[in-house]
Amino acid sequence: MGINEGPRGVSSRRAFIKQSGLTLMALTWPIDLTKISTDNIMTDKKQLDVIIIGGSYSGLAAAMALGRALRQVLVIDSGLPCNRQTPYSHNFLTQDGQTPKDIATLARQQVQQYNTVKFFNGLATKGRKIKNGFEIETATGESFQSKKLIFATGIKDIMPPIDGFSECWGISVLHCPYCHGFEVKNEPTGVLGNGEKGFEFLSLISNWTRDLTLFTNGKSTLTKDQMAKLASHKINMVEAEVERLVHKSGHLETIIFKDGTTHAIKALYAPRPFEQHCAIPESLGCALNEEGYIITDPIQRTSIPGVFACGDNTTRMRTVANAVAMGTTAGMMVNKEIVLEGF
């Protein structure tokens, strides 16, 4: 893009430098998303082209694609992303090591440059099919209508009844080695899991550390062959039930077991069951797979015509980079669908 181009028609070198400076400032200044700007806050009830529910990485990527396609868009966001407790984001080119909040802040600032994209800070609670599209209702009673819907609502991890677990989640109790493994490489590390899934995940984590222990949180269900594999790699296994995690500000120090024993630890991988963060897609009839993810095709269409989904609510590949890619795809394909229907 040249300095004479852009969503607001930047027409001078001075304006371009000023805009660039603001972008750089956003990387270092923590900003409350609800106070960035009031220019793009939704104030009327007109028919929209697209409503995007969820304003984190995937939703914002979809909004940018649609804003650049001149679509009238509303992003409804409750401001509670699932990684809000995670201190740093990794494995995303150009943003490696930034905080999730800083990435989202800069993303929203850039999306707000497209004046056809509006925001509503609140929780979407109901959705229904209407003659010309869909209607979404919020927790505070507002309703909005659009031709198409995009759900970028993420998932909600279900925490176990272990004291200290939730406080450590995303900090030292982890779900993804590709997101966090490098930062805890070669540290005393554990995997909280059992059976085939626990063994499979343990095998993966062995790439990042040799100081590794499997915590089955009860009697092991591993096979003899799996036990032999652990022994051959000198991986310990503890079957005692976990009582609590001792930590400092979310950073693990010790696991306390119900039998009174302890285990010093720095990182604990603990894949969790989940539920959809938003129930509206299922209420509209969107099909879920056996794992609980919204089923989509390669261009992010759900099983309901006019409804798209992107991000963590659709896939195991739970990374910022993947969420952005899926959101961009959803935005582009929604616009294409609208164009073809009206051409």
pLDDT in tens, 111-151: 999 999 999 999 999 999 999 999 999 999 999 999 999 99
CB 106 within 8 A of CB 27: yes
Question: pTM (2 decimals)?
Answer: 0.84
Amino acid letter, 326: M
pLDDT at position 82 is 73
d(CA 97, CA 102): 10
CB neighbour class for 321 (10 Å; exposed up to 12, middle 13-18, buried from 19): middle
Residue 10 within a domain: no
Residue 193 placed within a domain: yes
Of the three residues 204, 236, 269, the one that is the final residue of a domain is 269
Pair 178, 250 in one domain: yes
Let me know whether 148 and 60 are in one domain: yes
Q: What is the mean pLDDT of residues 155-159?
A: 93
pLDDT interval class at 84 (50, 70, 90)? confident
pLDDT band at 289 (very low <50, low <70, confident <90, very high): very high
Q: What pLDDT does residue 41 have?
A: 65
Does 11 score more than 60 pLDDT?
Answer: no
* pLDDT tens figures, 25-44: 333 333 344 444 445 665 56
Q: Do 149 and 178 belong together in one domain?
A: no
Residue 172: CATH number of its domain? 3.50.50.60
200-240 pLDDT, tens digit per residue, is 999 999 999 999 999 999 999 999 999 999 999 999 999 99
- Name the residue range of residue 139's domain: 31-157+274-342
pLDDT tier at 6, thresholds 50, 70, 90: very low
